[in-house]
Amino acid sequence: MTTTLLTALNDQVNHEFYAAYLYLSMSAYFEANNLNGFAHWMKVQAQEEVGHALKIYNFILDRGDKVTLKSIAQPPTEFKSPLDSFQQALQHEKKVTGLINSLYELSLKEKDYPAQVMLQWFIDEQVEEEKNASEIIAKLEMIGDSKGMLLHLDHQLGKRKAEEE
Ligand code: MG
């Protein structure tokens, strides 16, 4: 593939690992605050992000190109509330959606058909990611200060299963 596309894909591997770090930091926050269901949901999400990174990593290697791993930035470590955490998650997913869309545009420009097919999976995935975060934000807004309702949502989120790929 072209150097421009390869650099951008290696950068995306880094962004996906950063997302895993971000969700893991959120998981630690929830665990420390005794919201183990939320913590579980975030840990499953972190694992999914590692899966996203590896999908691109494998694609680069399958194409006979070079994977270049870079340092992962430190994620935030303090969150004001469950709502604050999910708002930050949604904000991050919107950023990732923009990055994926730019990568897709680049793959069109470079006429890299295999990259286009690979990136289509990510385009669908981003719709899911934004929907999931938005739904939980809406529920947290409904819950407001009700501790009982928060514990109910915690129980629900604790049931999240790891996705099979
Ligand atoms: Mg991702």
pLDDT tens-place string over residues 70-125: 999 999 999 999 999 999 999 999 999 999 999 999 999 999 999 999 999 999 99
Residue 136, classified by CB atoms within 10 Å of its CB into exposed (0-12), middle (13-18) or buried (19+), is buried
In the CATH hierarchy, which top-level class contains the domain 3-157?
A: mainly alpha
Q: How far is the CA of 146 from the centre of ligand 1 (A)?
A: 31
Q: Which residues have a beta carbon within 5 Å of ligand 1, which is an ion?
A: 16, 19, 49, 52
Domain spans of the chain, in order of start: 3-157
pLDDT > 70: percent of the chain: 99
pLDDT tens by residue, 22-45:
999 999 999 999 999 999 999 999
Q: How far is the CA of 53 from the centre of ligand 1 (A)?
A: 7
DSSP 34: T
The first and second tokens of residue 30, run together, are 């929830």
Where is 78: in which H helix or E strand? none
Chain centroid, CA 35 distance in Å: 20
Indicate the pTM of the whole model. Answer: 0.94
**From ligand 1's centre to the CA of 149, what distance in Å?**
29
